[in-house]
Structure 1
Amino acid sequence: MYLQLTGTHVRLLGSMHLFPSTSRRTPPWVAEAYDWAEALVFESDPPTILPFLKADARHGAAQLLPLLSADAWSQLQAVWPVEGALAPLVELRPWAALIVAPTLFQQVVEGVEPRMLRSAIAQAKPFSYLETAEDVAAALETIPLEAVGAALGLLMADREEPQRTLERMHDAWLDGDLQTVQRIAIESPMFNLPGIRHAILDARNRAWAARLKERLDERERTLVVVGALHLCGPGNLIECLAHPVEAVF
């Protein structure tokens, strides 16, 4: 979960972007990693994705109507925000609906990155990002429409699953147990649908690895903070880097 790229000044930290509201604990190795770093690298800057969430009428979430039961669509509409950047549902891109929908059934607090970012700003610690919001949107746009519809259908059939999965994953993450994090993820129905893992994890891992390889000769102690799922399973970031690593924790 906290790894040193051998022979470099770069470390990887597997994070959780959100914590369950019932357990706000952060393991000690997260603070240790932050203190070690002279510079931070995060995945992307979340607020910058907002302009990419909406689509014109032909490309919005209304495309999902034929792929969901009338009951599932009605339930989704009933819980969807009625104002703000995420409203209305029909104007969102299908992938945006997919990413947002599980969070509507979770009770969460902010995870690792917002806390680290605030500290970095307060302490004038340099930080940068592995990708732009445009990069993120382009990757998520590749998720097949059928997979989005299937995932939302599964979600509406078991609306408690996102919270269960989050709590179990957080417990495993606190223990630094990447294998269990991976096992929990693959037990989640959405995770196994064609195209979803590829877009959210695999394609981005390859792009990040190419960018990180350019930084391996830097002398500055650099902490790269990515979601824990990017560090486990086939095609993970460590595999894509093809560089030996040593566990710090």
Structure 2
Amino acid sequence: MYFQLAGTQVRLLGSMHLFPATSPRMPACVSQAFDWAETLVFESDAQSVLPFLKREGGESLEHLLPPDVWRRLDATWPSTGALAPLSGLRPWAAMMVAPTLCQRVVEGVEPRMLREADAQAKPYRFLETAAEVVASLESIPLSAIVSGLELLLADLTEPQRTLERMQAAWLQRDLQGLYDVAAESPMFNLPGIRSAILDARNHAWAPRVRDALETPKRTLVVVGALHLCGPGNLIEHLAHRVEQIGEVD
């Protein structure tokens, strides 16, 4: 999951945004990648996206979902905090957040790296703005969101199983294995969801990563590992030879 763009000072690191709570260990290659870098590039600032989770007016989410889906989802939703009330969320926000409510997780690569970068005054930037993230997610058809929520509610244990299997593949640096696990997830195969979350963003990121290829500074680009595998992945869009970096003792 750790690659050098040949002939440049740019490296790619495929991350896990969340770890299962039972396996919070950060692999050595992540720390090595951070120590190597003089500057960091992340997907987006998650904190800047949070204000966009809620609608500004418009129809309540309750009226956009089938009654049974709304009833079951509302029964499990937090009654207080940034995610409440459920009725005020955008449909895609409910779909993105709902699986995490079924998981036992701890923070993954990016939050830890960002804290360490701040502590060391190591510069970093983002590949996309919050508005661009939201625009991509807004493109997901409501029908796909409803189908995704129905599939989730049919098996609330699936998100945790999938996360644990994906992390196992990630720790083994098995990109194909990681993609195969994700491809078995029902929500991953719904029309519009994969395109919005992976394909469209990979396409938009590629020229921004290419812009960094001439930099003399050691630059680490950190993106979710699924962006580096499967059809239309970021490496394909870059059209630049990459070399896998082995574990350093």
TM-score category, normalised to shorter length: over 0.9
Gaps of 5+ in 1: none
Q: Please give the secondary structure, in 2, of the residue aligned with 1:117.
A: helix
Q: Which one-letter code corresponds to 2:157 in the other structure?
A: E
Distance in 1 between residues matched to 2:109 and 2:184, nearest whole Å: 24
1:187-221 per-position Cα deviation (integer Å, ceiling 9, x unaligned): 00000000000000000101110111111100000
Q: Would you say how many aligned residue pairs link Structure 1 and Structure 2?
A: 246
Q: Please give the secondary structure, in 2, of the residue aligned with 1:207.
A: helix
Gaps of 5+ in 2: none
1:126-181 per-position Cα deviation (integer Å, ceiling 9, x unaligned): 11111111110000000000000000000000000000000111111111110110
- Partner in structure 1 of residue 69 of structure 2: 72
The reply on whether 1:93 has 2:90 as its aligned counterpart is yes
- Consecutive aligned runs of 4 or more in structure 1 exceeding 4 Å deviation: none
Q: Please give the secondary structure, in 2, of the residue aligned with 1:22.
A: coil
Are the equivalent residues in 1 in contact too, given 2:62–2:70 (CA < 8 A)?
no
Q: Please give the secondary structure, in 2, of the residue aligned with 1:58.
A: coil
2:187 to 161, 186, 190: 190
1:156 to 153, 157, 170: 153
Are the equivalent residues in 1 in contact too, given 2:5–2:12 (CA < 8 A)?
yes
Q: How many angstroms does 1:84 deviate by?
A: 1.8
Distance in 1 between residues matched to 2:75 and 2:63, nearest whole Å: 18
Distance in 2 between residues matched to 1:26 and 1:137, nearest whole Å: 29
Q: Which one-letter code corresponds to 2:139 in the other structure?
A: T
Q: Please give the secondary structure, in 2, of the residue aligned with 1:41.
A: strand
TM-score by length of 2: 0.96
Distance in 2 between residues matched to 1:136 and 1:25, nearest whole Å: 29
- Partner in structure 1 of residue 8 of structure 2: 8
Distance in 1 between residues matched to 2:238 and 2:82, nearest whole Å: 36
Q: How many angstroms does 1:30 deviate by?
A: 0.8
- Partner in structure 1 of residue 244 of structure 2: 247
Q: Please give the secondary structure, in 2, of the residue aligned with 1:4.
A: strand
Q: How many angstroms does 1:57 deviate by?
A: 4.6
| Residue pairs, 1:98-137, within 5 angstroms | 98-137=95-134
Are the equivalent residues in 1 in contact too, given 2:9–2:215 (CA < 8 A)?
yes
- Partner in structure 1 of residue 28 of structure 2: 28
TM-score by length of 1: 0.96
Task: Please report the RMSD computed on the Cα atoms of aligned residues, expressed in angstroms.
Answer: 1.1
Identity of aligned residues (%): 65
Q: How many angstroms does 1:26 deviate by?
A: 1.5
